[in-house]
Amino acid sequence: MPDTHFYRYDDYDRALVGERVAQFRDQVRRRLAGELTEEQFKPLRLTNGLYLQLHAYMLRIAIPYGTLSSRQLRQLAAIARKYDRGYGHFTTRQNLQLHWIRLEDAPDAIAMLAEVDMHSIQTSGNCVRNTTADHFAGAAIDEIEDPRVWCEIVRQWSTLHPEFSFLPRKFKIAITGSPNDRAAVRVHDIGLRLWKNACDEVGFEVIVGGGLGRTPMIGKTIREFLPKDELLAYLEATLRVYNRYGRRDNLFKARIKILVHEIGAERMREEVEAEYAAMRDSALKLSPETVEAIARQFAPPVLRPRRTRVPEVEAMKLENRAFALWLKSNVAPHRVPGHAIVTASLKPAGAPPGDASSAQMEGVADIADAWSHGEIRVSHEQNLVLPHVAIESLPEVYRALEKLGFAEANVGKITDIIACPGLDYCALANARSIPVAQRISNHFAELARQHDIGDLKIKISGCINACGHHHVGHIGILGVDKNGVELYQLSLGGDVDFGKTALGTILGPAVESDKVVEAVEAMVATYLGARRPGERFVDTYRRIGAQPFKERVYGNS
């Protein structure tokens, strides 16, 4: 088995996760025995990632910084097979959801996670959730520093944090180490961006109060440059301000973004800085040894530069059109010459976005072992990533992915749809998401056309909670309920590219379910008719505005 190139638990981490399993086992026992009411038990199961949905319990498993070893992915497959229905759903937050878990089995399933140094702690509840990172971390060409080192530091600090386990609402942190943000840091409760200042020091820009959901907001920078070793002190200060002053009178106004909005970014900054002043240079300050010990574990695999022009690849490009398109859309440059980052699309035509069967997970694990140093990433676009593939292996990797159904050349294209589970699973939903995604996916299945249409991100949420990130879709689709009928509100122009983070604008009245494909087709046609060379869908929209799209979708009447 290949070495891992990311953090491995030591005995302390293992002890804690094991003790957490034992605690949860006891909590489940007490609930089943009637010693705990549902009201008392619910927050306990939620902080272990266990939801009760429409048809069953759902277990949400954290995939810290979206990084998995092949061994871990195989274990996830095994858990899904043993305690679920043999498949899982990768979410937009680098989590895996198993939708058919029994309460009675949940402690055993979580114990199996602990065997491979994983857990489901704090994947729900009003606490600090799984900290997410750029899925290309450690491989990206534009990276300043690997953000996962800091995610791991935050993971440990936030795990069972005694002060912040009953916050006003959930709390999500994302970290990026690249100027091209792939972690959507401006739409998180706290976003952290590593950057290098004029003195060549690397530190964090601290962005607070972003988020999607009912009241989408773009985060505000409250600290331009934070020395890295003060990260935990600054986070603790921010969380303390939020814990004390965040609203608890109204569930919909309880996120930190509302606090920042109500008191203003400036006052928020003052409060946090005052608290931080009392905490800096405390036991929270990270010693260089601590950081180095963790950073060392993220040392990337030693990759020797290899040929970048490989005759076999060039030949296959000429004879296999789908492969040529796949190279364009699913393969990204790696920082080591002769290597590439491959995205395995979990969006084959007509499939539920982000779902993978146990057999498929095992297949991806095998591919990772053979060609990607045993490592897999989970992207917030609900795809899997093979971060370290030699260019000369691309034909083999492509064929292997093709067998799994994960070689669709559609990454970033119109069928690379993000969709939440929606009304088919989710107790909070207004409308279904997956069947809508499937219809759009089938309609636009032709690859050549998708590549002609170019980059176009469709994001679908089944309700205002926005798990499908519809606000930041180039085309956003939001399910609403009108007198028991599913309707879909369309929005245009959202984006999450750094510096360009934008929320979409609602196009017009919500449309019926069977009109969604038609409406998307009309928007695409508007774009194709109006685009200038090199313009993406969203660029054209920005230039010509919503009116032409509106007219095409709703008619002139």
Partner 1 sequence: MAKNLSGDMQVASANRLSDGAVVFLDDFGQWTRRLDRAALARDKRTAEILLARARAEAASVVDPFLVAVTESGDGVLEPLSLREKIRASGLTFAAIAAEAVRYA
Partner 2 sequence: MEIPSEQPIDQGPMLVLDNAEDVTRLGDRLAGVKLIVLNFPKFTDGRAYSQARLLRERMGYTGELRAAGQVYIDQIPFMLRCGFDSFASAQKGFAEALAKARTLFSVVYQPTGDGRTTVNQLRLQHRRSAAA
Nearest 5°: the CA angle 472, 476, 481 is 125
Residue count (the chain): 557
User: How far apart (Å, rounded) are the C-alpha atoms in residues 148 and 94?
Assistant: 13
515 token code pair: 């009109």
User: How far apart (Å, rounded) are the C-alpha atoms in residues 334 and 397?
Assistant: 16
Q: Which alpha helices (DSSP H) does 84-226 contain, by range?
A: 106-115, 147-158
User: How far apart (Å, rounded) are the C-alpha atoms in residues 151 and 222?
Assistant: 20
DSSP reduced 3-state for 498: coil
Question: Which residue lies nearer to ligand SF4 by CB, 185 or 463?
Answer: 463
Indicate which of partner 2, partner 1, ligand SF4, none lies near residue 467 (CB less than 5 to 8 Å, by partner kind).
ligand SF4
* Residue 284 binds partner 2 (CB under 8 A): yes
Pick from 381, 385, 360: nearest CA to 372: 385
Indicate which of ligand SF4, partner 1, partner 2, none lies near residue 163 (CB less than 5 to 8 Å, by partner kind).
partner 2
* Residue 165 binds partner 2 (CB under 8 A): yes
CB of 466 to ligand SF4, least distance (A): 6
Residue from 16, 44, 54, 116 binding partner 1 (CB under 8 A): 54
* Residue 34 binds partner 2 (CB under 8 A): no
What are the residues whose beta carbons fall under 8 Å from the beta carbon of 232, sequence distance 6 or more?
153, 154, 157, 284, 285, 286
User: How far apart (Å, rounded) are the C-alpha atoms in residues 147 and 191?
Assistant: 12
User: How far apart (Å, rounded) are the C-alpha atoms in residues 320 and 521?
Assistant: 28
User: How far apart (Å, rounded) are the C-alpha atoms in residues 179 and 141?
Assistant: 11
> CA-CA distances (angstroms) from residue 153 to 3, 7, 76, 163?
21, 10, 24, 17
CB of 28 to partner 2, least distance (A): 12
* Residue 59 binds ligand SF4 (CB under 6 A): no
Question: Which residue lies nearer to ligand SF4 by CB, 353 or 454?
Answer: 353
* Residue 360 binds partner 1 (CB under 8 A): yes
CB of 9 to partner 2, least distance (A): 11
User: How far apart (Å, rounded) are the C-alpha atoms in residues 345 and 355?
Assistant: 10
Contact, 473 vs 491, CB < 8 A? Answer: yes
Q: Which residue has the tokens 């965040």?
A: 246
CB of 468 to partner 1, least distance (A): 16
- DSSP letters, 190-220, are EEEEEEE-TTS-EEEEEEES-B-TTS-B--E
CB of 289 to partner 2, least distance (A): 6
Question: Which residue lies nearer to partner 1 by CB, 103 or 111?
Answer: 103
* Residue 487 binds partner 1 (CB under 8 A): no
Residue from 72, 238, 393, 461 binding ligand SF4 (CB under 6 A): 461
* Residue 359 binds partner 1 (CB under 8 A): yes
- Segment near partner 2 (CB under 8 A), from 13-21, 425-433, 527-535, 537-545? 13-21
Q: Is 425 exposed, middle or buried (0-12, 13-18, 19+ CB in 10 A)?
A: buried
* Residue 317 binds partner 1 (CB under 8 A): no
- Segment near ligand SF4 (CB under 6 A), from 120-128, 168-176, 248-256, 419-427? 419-427
* Residue 262 binds partner 2 (CB under 8 A): no
CB of 232 to partner 2, least distance (A): 9
Indicate which of partner 2, partner 1, ligand SF4, none lies near residue 465 (CB less than 5 to 8 Å, by partner kind).
ligand SF4
Of the chain, the end-to-end C-alpha distance in Å amounts to 65
Residue from 8, 32, 40, 142 binding partner 2 (CB under 8 A): 40
* Residue 417 binds ligand SF4 (CB under 6 A): no
Label the pairing between strands 173-176 and 132-133: parallel
The residues of the shown chain that bind ligand SF4, judged by CB under 6 A, are 420-422, 426, 428-429, 461-463, 465-468
The residues of the shown chain that bind partner 2, judged by CB under 8 A, are 10, 12-13, 15-16, 19-20, 23, 27, 35, 40, 43-44, 126, 156-157, 159-167, 240, 243-244, 248, 278, 282-284, 287, 289-290, 293
